[in-house]
Structure 1
Amino acid sequence: MTAGEGTHDAVIVLDIGKTNVKLVLIDAQGQQLAERRKANTVLRSGPYPHHDTDAIWEWMLETIARFATIATVGAIVPVTHGATAALVDEHGLVLPVLDYEYEPPAQQRAQYLTQRAPYASTYSPALPAGLNLGRQLAWLAAVFPADFARTRHILMYPQYWAWRLSGVAAGEVTSLGCHTDLWQPARQQYSALVERMGWHTLMPPLFNAWDTLGPVLPALAQRTGLPAHCRIVCGIHDSNASLLRHLNVTGDAAGDAAAGPATAVLSTGTWVIAALPGGALDGLREEADMLANCSALGQPVPCIRFMGGREFAALAGAEPAACGVADLQQLIDQGTFALPAFADAGGPFSGRTGSVIGPPLPGDTERTALATLYCALMSDYCLTQLGAQGDVVVEGSFTNNPHFAPLLAALRPGATVSTTDDASGTTCGGWMLAHWGEPPTATARPATPLPLRGWPAYRDRWLDLLR
């Protein structure tokens, strides 16, 4: 089939998560036509650990060329993880794209803590390693001053890929507002850190996430077979892509006071991020790794998160065995608990070392069961800390776990816990940006609470052990 014979006005979503890179081809009705993925490799060579942007670029162009034979591609939308930026000049990167899990020297952290804007203005907690993007930029400026001086634009990661595809430099609030220390979500403006460090001149003009920056560069159209009119959309931070379908185009949260408590959104993947659109900011606590993200509509959104995908793998193993309801019940009956944390990259229990207490686990299925119980308990804890009292929608990779949403639903009586049919949690949001104003096609299915014996009491015991 040639491009002219396939579906017209399809969208390609470039989805760069911390663990995997995906390209998804979606038709005009929102149905997936094709998907390809690769590991998101961090290179250890060079001046510091960095993302293999060259490998992603070549793989992306080759995959786009294959997709262009399936459908006529009308738009490409980049969606990426947060806490990542690219420093570019007219020719490309001036320094490799730093991996946010790299820990700069402790001396630099102490200095940076005196430079960053206060939490009350940014709602960006002080985080380990490079999870505060401002710390990455300050370290790069201090250690590589000559290279940093050549920088023309500081591009958030989605907009770096949009720039490579379109040649247009853009800024966008969802990545700027993702615990970077660079943005004030409540005021919708840059923080004092940006001015203090002299970075304001490097910040490109702000665009909406759904804005078209321009057509694909002619050389790329020729190489890939994309039509010359293929639009490059500005792009968005990944958990905000998941959130997008739960907002409306007027800028109001999906839940409002008249309709009852706001619906919370649980975006799951390497990170599990609980968001409460329309929620109050005054309950956020820096020491609990609570923050205000910024939605695509510019609104501050209270959030709390933990590295759930990473912690699940630490407990269940890299290739977890399937577990059944009987395995879950066994662990509850015997009183085996997993206590946080099993990743050292932030979260409400950052600084604690994870442990398993109680009778030992006899096999792989029990390890998966324990990981499932643990992630359900952590998610319930995060939702409670956030003040979520209404329904919950689960997005992302945990929708593939048949027990996760039912376990969570059993802990939140009076609320409906639903899962979406978009297991990536970002594909629908990316499609929406290319079709701004059209309703999303993905639907949510209510989960039936899993009536395990002693499950609420197990949660209460787990909370006691945490204290």
Structure 2
Amino acid sequence: MKQKVTAVFDIGKTNKKFFLFDKKYKEVYREYASFEEIKDEDGYPTENLAALQTWLKELFERILHHDKYIIKAINFSTYGASFVHLDEDGNPLTPLYNYTKEIDSNLVDNFYEKYGPELELTRTTGSPKSGLLNSGMQLYWIKHTKPEIFKKIKYSLHLPQYLSFIFTGIPFSEYTSIGCHTSLWNYEEKDYHSWVYKEEIHKILPPIVSTETSVNMNYNGKRVKIGVGIHDSSSALLPYVRSVKKPFVLVSTGTWSIALNPFSDVPLTNEETEAGCINYMRINGKPVKSSRLFLGNEYKLQVAELAKKFNVDEDYHKTVKFEYDAYFEIIKEFQYCFRWKSFSDKNMPKKTSYSYNTFEHAYHQLMIELAKLQVLSIKRIADTQEIDRLYVDGGFTDNDLYIKLLSHYLRGMKLRTTKASLGSALGAAIAISDSKLNSKFLKKNYALKKHVPFIIK
């Protein structure tokens, strides 16, 4: 008897993953791939779109005729800030431009002069000035620097929707891709920003549909439900939104630590915008207020320096557990000691300086300072509401000091950690499913763990 499954392509910049999930969202099959980058016309490294397309189609064709599985549905989760520009025959007109590629700063300045002021545009679109990381800027850039190409564009598709288009031939736009720091969307008007209409860019953007939309079709002789794709950050949030009934904040940790509040209906304020808050979008178009901290990157740099200074193994930090005595000694006459390398902060000294003679003490000092920054980041997006639930996923869930300090500083919140290695793929499977998730879903699928604050002696 063949097993009915949902297939998901989960496309990261480095790793391309393929999963099959059963009806209870348990992973039953996976495959990974990665491709050498190619170069665009300026010699800048970028995704090998042709290789990706070939892999998608060949793998799906093979699994479609697998003797163990019946694919009932397929969906796509990918990184954002990336467009595929199609001609009238549905073929890509340009490389998939890398969002780290720098473009002429004069062009960007010209855009903000025309449609700014910058703070107001950032606030209403929930997108800070970030070059091509604002995918709307890519459309503006192509229109004004490659007009001959722009004239040939029939549709510009966000990457998740392009993957769906490969299988359906139907062009769509959907909320989570539009809403991820693109500068395209006016969160107050709940429509494309006026600059999009003034530049006539809306003409090449396909109709907007809900992220839960799917197309039922006969694909190579098999009946399959094909999703329209989803942006990976919004996808990772979805299992929480569907299974937790009370308001919460999710902190997704890694190189970036992103605090997400999917329950804020209030537009960003100027103060929040200046503090670096941005918006993502839920699958129904509602905003997700978020605050970013370059936590993992800073942690990596500082820990490498500590390891050198105290002459310990570079992985030694992973063995250090929270010690109450060390914590108490540091906070008794607390002073900020670390100068950050990836960002600036009003409390940081001119240079890193501390008088500890053990790695453990210096490490506790580092984690106290980073935890205080993380708490500020969380409060920034949650303080106007009485949210008492906090979920943390990603790499820092294994860091004993980070979790204990967060639990201590946010004593009024119930802190739970989850292991969500399948986060964005699982979200994509859930997005096109009709089944409801119950409150035990995170416990069963995400290794949910409760944490209580340590007792103050």
CA distance 1:167–1:301, change in 2 (3 Å): same
Structure 1 counterpart SS, 2:131: coil
- Pairs within 5 Å for 1:221-236: 228-236=222-230
Question: 2 CA distance for matches of 1:97 and 1:425?
Answer: 25
Question: 1 CA distance for matches of 2:302 and 2:34?
Answer: 21
Contact 2:7 2:18 in 1 (8 A): yes
Question: 2 CA distance for matches of 1:373 and 1:53?
Answer: 44
**Structure 2-normalised TM-score?**
0.79
Correspondent of 2:47 among 51, 60, 66: 51
**1:342 match:** 342
Question: 1 CA distance for matches of 2:338 and 2:31?
Answer: 34
Opposite residue 233 of structure 1, the aligned amino acid is G
Contact 1:209 1:235 in 2 (8 A): yes
**1:243 match:** 237
Q: CA deviation at 1:403?
A: 5.2
Contact 1:293 1:301 in 2 (8 A): yes
Opposite residue 293 of structure 2, the aligned amino acid is F
Correspondent of 1:82 among 77, 80, 90: 80
Structure 2 counterpart SS, 1:109: helix
Structure 2 counterpart SS, 1:76: strand
**1:201 match:** 203
Write the deviation string for residues 338-371 of structure 1: whole angstroms up to 9, x where unpaired: 544527xxxx969x999754369988x9999888
Question: 2 CA distance for matches of 1:245 and 1:291?
Answer: 21
Question: 2 CA distance for matches of 1:78 and 1:236?
Answer: 6
Contact 1:391 1:417 in 2 (8 A): yes
**1:106 match:** 105
Structure 1 counterpart SS, 2:222: coil
Question: 2 CA distance for matches of 1:228 and 1:368?
Answer: 57
Q: CA deviation at 1:183?
A: 0.7
Q: CA deviation at 1:152?
A: 0.9
Q: CA deviation at 1:313?
A: 4.6
1:34 counterpart = 2:25 = no
**1:460 match:** none
Write the deviation string for residues 216-250 of structure 1: whole angstroms up to 9, x where unpaired: 753xxxxxxxx62122101211121122234359x
Opposite residue 273 of structure 2, the aligned amino acid is E
- Pairs within 5 Å for 1:48-447: 48-64=44-60, 67-68=63-64, 69=66, 70-89=68-87, 90-116=89-115, 118-119=120-121, 122-215=124-217, 217-218=219-220, 228-247=222-241, 254-255=245-246, 262-279=247-264, 280-283=266-269, 285-315=272-302, 323-326=318-321, 338-342=338-342, 357-358=353-354, 376-388=371-383, 389-399=387-397, 401=399, 404-439=402-437, 441-443=441-443, 445-447=448-450
Q: CA deviation at 1:177?
A: 1.3
**2:451 match:** 448
Unaligned runs of 5+ residues in structure 2 are 305-313
Unaligned runs of 5+ residues in structure 1 are 219-226, 256-261, 455-467
Question: 1 CA distance for matches of 2:27 and 2:418?
Answer: 15
Q: What percent identity do the matched residue pairs reach?
A: 22
Question: 2 CA distance for matches of 1:453 and 1:446?
Answer: 22
Contact 1:94 1:148 in 2 (8 A): no
Q: CA deviation at 1:169?
A: 0.5
Write the deviation string for residues 181-207 of structure 1: whole angstroms up to 9, x where unpaired: 111223321111211111111110111
Structure 2 counterpart SS, 1:25: strand
CA distance 1:67–1:121, change in 2 (3 Å): same
Opposite residue 92 of structure 1, the aligned amino acid is N
Question: 1 CA distance for matches of 2:368 and 2:57?
Answer: 40
CA distance 1:76–1:377, change in 2 (3 Å): farther
Q: Which moved more, 1:283-292 or 1:104-113?
A: 283-292
Q: CA deviation at 1:412?
A: 0.9
Contact 1:302 1:386 in 2 (8 A): yes
Structure 1 counterpart SS, 2:149: helix
Opposite residue 279 of structure 2, the aligned amino acid is A
Q: Which moved more, 1:110-119 or 1:324-333?
A: 324-333
Contact 1:209 1:433 in 2 (8 A): yes
Contact 2:217 2:223 in 1 (8 A): yes
Write the deviation string for residues 155-214 of structure 1: whole angstroms up to 9, x where unpaired: 112111111122111000111111211112233211112111111111101111111134
Opposite residue 93 of structure 1, the aligned amino acid is P
Contact 1:399 1:423 in 2 (8 A): no
Contact 1:44 1:50 in 2 (8 A): yes
Question: 2 CA distance for matches of 1:201 and 1:277?
Answer: 30
Q: CA deviation at 1:415?
A: 0.8
CA RMSD across the alignment: 3.7
Structure 1 counterpart SS, 2:173: coil
Write the deviation string for residues 299-332 of structure 1: whole angstroms up to 9, x where unpaired: 1221111344444554557x95661234888986
Structure 2 counterpart SS, 1:323: helix
Question: 1 CA distance for matches of 2:352 and 2:59?
Answer: 43
Question: 2 CA distance for matches of 1:337 and 1:31?
Answer: 46
